[in-house]
Amino acid sequence: MSENQHNMDEKLPKFLQEMKDENPFQVPPEYFKNLSTQTWKRMQKTQESRGIRWVPDGFRFAIRATVGLLRPTMAFGAIALLIGLAILWPNTEEFGGHGAMLTEQEILTYIAENVDDFDVNELYWAEALTMEEVPSDLLGDPSDELELEPVFEELIEDLDLEDIL
Amino acid sequence: MQREEDARILLLLKDKRSQEEGFRLMMSLYQERIYWHIRKFVFDHDDANDIVQNTFIKAFRGIGGFRSDAKLYTWLYKIASNESITFLKKKSKRQTDSLEDEDGLSIGSRLRSDAYFDGDHAQETLQKAIANLPDKQRLVFNMRYYDELPYNDISTVLGTSVGALKASYHHAVKKIEQYVKETFESV
C-alpha cells in the first residue's frame, strides 16, 4: 500500500472518529429473534403460490429437458404453420375485396341503383334456376346454332396447329 | 472459524431434509450484519426488513451458483447491495410517477419522524450527509466506515478495483466533512 493510499484510508475527521461506534437506528423488540422464522415462512408462501411444491424435482427436470429439446422443432413447426395459413387463407380480393361481407340487402340496393348498367337478358338469366324457367323468347331460334356450324369448321381448318399452341 | 461455518451451512442447504436448518443457521450468523448494512443505506426499518428478507430468500434459491471458495458474507453483501439499489430506484420511480417528493418529506424530516431513529442533531446531520452521496459511493463509505470491511472484500462485493474503492472512500469522507462543516456554520 502506498503512503498516499494509506493516508487516504486512515485519516478520518475527528467527528467521524467519535461517531463511528454510535448507531442511531433501532429495531422493534425481538426483531432479530423472529426474523429467520418470518423469512422462512415468507419463502414457503411464495413457493406455494408459484406452485413449485406441486412438481417434484425429477419431473421438473424432465419437463425442462423435454421443452428444451422440442423448442427448435416447435419453433420450426410454428413457422411452417404460419406459412401454410398465409398460402391457404381465403383471398377476399377475388370477391372484389368486400364480396364475402355483402348482405343480400346490400346486393339488392346495388342492383336497384345500377340497374341501367345491366343487360335485361342477363337479369332474366340470373333469376332463372333451370333452362326450363328461361322464357323461350330469350333463347332465340335453335336453328341459328346449326347455321353457325359450317362457319366454325371453316375457321378451324384455316388455323395452324402452331397458332393454337 | 467462519470458513467452517460457511462449509456447514452449504452442506446443510444441499440436502432437502436439512435445508431449513441450514437456512436458519445462515440467518443467525449473518442477519444482523446484512440488516444493518441495508438499514444504513435505505434508512427506513420497514424497507430494510423487506430487503433483508428478499436477500436471504434470493441467497437460498441461488445457493447453487455460489462458489464454495468465496466467502458467504461477501456474497450476501453483494445480493443485499443490489437489492437495496434496485429498491431505491423503484421507490424513486414510483415517487416520480406519482409526483410525490420522498413522501413529501426530506431525509431529515423522515429521520425525525422515524420511531426507530434515536440520533441527535449531529447524527441526523451525518445521515443527511451520507444520504447525499451517490449510491455506489455511499455503499463504499458504509462498508468501510461502519462495517470495517477490508478493501479486498468490498472489491469482491462491488466488482471494483481496490484503488478505485480507496479513492471513492476518500472522496466520500471529504464530501461528508464539507457538508457537516457547512451545516454547522450556517446554524
Q: Looking at residue A20, what is its pLDDT?
A: 86
Q: Is B10 on the interface with A (CB under 8 A)?
A: no
What DSSP assignment string belongs to chain B? -HHHHHHHHHHHHHSGGGHHHHHHHHHHHHHHHHHHHHHHHH--HHHHHHHHHHHHHHHHHTGGG--TTS-HHHHHHHHHHHHHHHHHHHHHHHHHHTT-SGGG--HHHHHHH-TTB---HHHHHHHHHHHTS-HHHHHHHHHHHTS---HHHHHHHHT--HHHHHHHHHHHHHHHHHHHHHHHHH-
Phi-psi region of A51 (alpha: psi -120 to 50; beta: other; left: phi over 0): left
Question: Are B117 and A24 a contacting pair at CB < 8 A?
Answer: yes
Q: Measure in Å the smallest separation between the Cα of A87 and chain B Cα atoms.
A: 47
Question: Are A24 and B123 a contacting pair at CB < 8 A?
Answer: yes
Answer yes or no: do A113 and A148 share one domain: yes
| Residue range(s) defining the domain that contains residue A69 | 55-89
Q: Looking at residue B70, what is its pLDDT?
A: 84
Q: Looking at residue A52, what is its pLDDT?
A: 47
Answer yes or no: do A69 and A111 share one domain: no
Of chain B, the end-to-end C-alpha distance in Å amounts to 50
Q: Is B117 on the interface with A (CB under 8 A)?
A: yes
Question: Are B123 and A35 a contacting pair at CB < 8 A?
Answer: no
Note the pLDDT tens digit of each residue in A79-91.
Answer: 888 888 888 776 6
Q: Is residue A122 scored above 70 in pLDDT? A: no
Q: Which domains does chain B have, with CATH numbers?
A: 1-100 (1.10.1740.10), 119-187 (1.10.10.10)
3-state secondary structure of A65: helix
Answer yes or no: do A157 and A119 share one domain: yes
Residuewise pLDDT in 10s, chain B (187 residues): 678 889 999 999 999 999 999 999 999 999 999 999 999 999 999 999 999 999 999 999 998 888 877 899 999 999 999 999 999 999 888 777 665 555 445 788 888 888 888 888 899 999 999 999 999 999 999 999 999 999 999 999 999 999 999 999 999 999 999 999 998 887 6
Q: Measure in Å the smallest separation between the Cα of B94 and chain A Cα atoms.
A: 24
